[in-house]
Amino acid sequence: MPPDAPPRTSRALSGIQPTGRFHWGNYFGAIRQYIDLQPGAHQAADEAYYFIADLHALTTVRDPARLRSLVHAAAVDLLALGLDPERAVLFVQSDVPEVAELTWLLMTVTPMGLLERCHAYKDKKNRGLPADAGLFTYPVLMAADILAYDATIVPVGEDQVQHIEVCRDLAGTFNHLYGDVFTLPNPRLVEGGAKVPGTDGQKMSKSYENTIEVFEDPAAQKKKIMRITTDSRPMEQPKDPEGDHLFELFALMAPEGDRLRMADLYRRGGFGYGEVKKALVEAAAAYFADARGRRAELEADPGRVEAILAAGAARARARAGDVLARARRACGLSRGEAATGKGRRP
Ligand code: TYM
């Protein structure tokens, strides 16, 4: 950038799939960052765009009524967890059809080999499951999601970093061919939350059936917590809290003092994992108590939630429309404007 150029706007953007209710991995890896990056928050970006990725969810949810209800529930959850529609743009992915057209433009510069290496497709193929073209080209849609808003920061968990690399690759190729059209984004991960463990110690994920949902009924949630796997070392033996998934979960939501006391207890030994689990039940209840209250209020006012999504979609479409027009002009899809430089970023 030349020294006298105005600083570029920092714009956070991220998407989350409504394939089930949000779990602790979604919250501590991604949603908590969405909140922190909203304008006015302590690590604020200049602008923030967050969307519910219903087009991506279509590769797994095939029941229309369920998809509709999951999308609405996702909006309620995000608002209850602190997303503020006055400061961030909240919308549903499919309400911005410009993104689908942009996906096609990007598809024409996407090498097959790049997609063959992407993990969502590779994992499914390795498990012998049939994969459709939607799953195969999923990272291209995700790239369009990001590039359509000139996003600079993409808050995500570790599992999405590969997809952001793909996005940067595709944007780089397109820019190389057609001029400076797209902004290259960077992923943003949080320390301690980039890979939240599930009840079995693997990464928490719907596909591993090891999730604990943020707004799960408290009794069901307690049951799951009490069933978190632990090792079989005797109670007397001192243990290292680092790398213990039960402790890791506790540390995410316990106040600092409780976390230090618990780490100490681990190092001294002479305690049972049952005690830690009970402490985790209480820490989770306290951590999400306010959000549960807000959720109940929002649930009682579906009209308000839908109005927020409609307003968000209008704002998102305006921006994506500009970016798409730029991309169309740059690659020769708009007649009469060739060689005027209008395809370039202002
Ligand atoms: P999705 O819906 O699988 O997950 C949403 C967000 O939650 C994070 N996450 C985790 N973080 C830490 N530990 C875990 N155990 C854990 N599980 C999930 C994910 O990393 C993600 O940030 N492809 C995306 C959705 C998407 C998107 C985008 C994201 C579509 N377009 C554009 C960013 C930008 C996905 O499937 O996320």
Is-same-fold flag (11-196+301-331; 216-287)?
no
Comparing CA positions, the residue from 225, 216, 161, 205 lying closest to residue 19 is 205
pLDDT in tens, 11-22: 999 999 999 999
Closest residue (by CA) to atom 19 of ligand 1?
157
Q: Ligand 1 centre and the CA of 41: distance in Å?
A: 22
Catalytic residue set: 124, 203, 206
> What residue's CA is closest to ligand 1, atom 14?
25
Confidence of residue 5 (pLDDT cuts 50, 70, 90): low
Give the type of residue at 305.
Answer: V
Q: How confident is the model at residue 8 (pLDDT cuts 50, 70, 90)?
A: confident
Closest CA to 276 of 261, 286, 290: 261
User: For the residues of 40-55, what is the DSSP string, one character each?
Assistant: TSTT--SEEEEEE-HH
Q: Which two tokens stand for residue 28?
A: 């501590």
Distance 45 CA to ligand 1 centre (A): 19
Residue located nearest, by CA, to atom 34 of ligand 1:
14
- Does 224 have pLDDT greater than 90? yes
Mutate which of 99, 160, 183, 205 for ligand 1 pocket (most atoms within 8 A of beta carbon): 160
Ligand 1: which of 16, 19, 245 to mutate, judged by most atoms within 8 Å of the beta carbon? 16
What DSSP string runs through 326-338?
A: HHHHHHT-STT-T
Residue 129: what pLDDT? 80
The 3-state DSSP class for residue 186 equals strand
In the chain, where are the structural domains located? 11-196+301-331, 216-287
Ligand 1 pocket member 36 (CB < 6 A) = no
Query: For ligand 1, is residue 203 a contact (CB within 6 Å)?
Result: yes
**Average pLDDT for 78-89:** 98
Helix and strand numbers (H, E) in the chain are: 16, 5
pLDDT value, residue 240: 92
**Assigned superfamily of 11-196+301-331:** HUPs (3.40.50.620)
CATH for the stretch 216-287: 1.10.240.10
**Model's pTM, two decimal places?**
0.94
pLDDT of residue 114: 96
Span 81-108, average pLDDT: 98
**3-class SS of residue 154:** strand
Ligand 1 atom having least distance to the Cα of 156:
22
- d(CA 22, CA 288) in angstroms, rounded, equals 13
CA-CA distance, 329 to 346, in Å (whole number)?
13
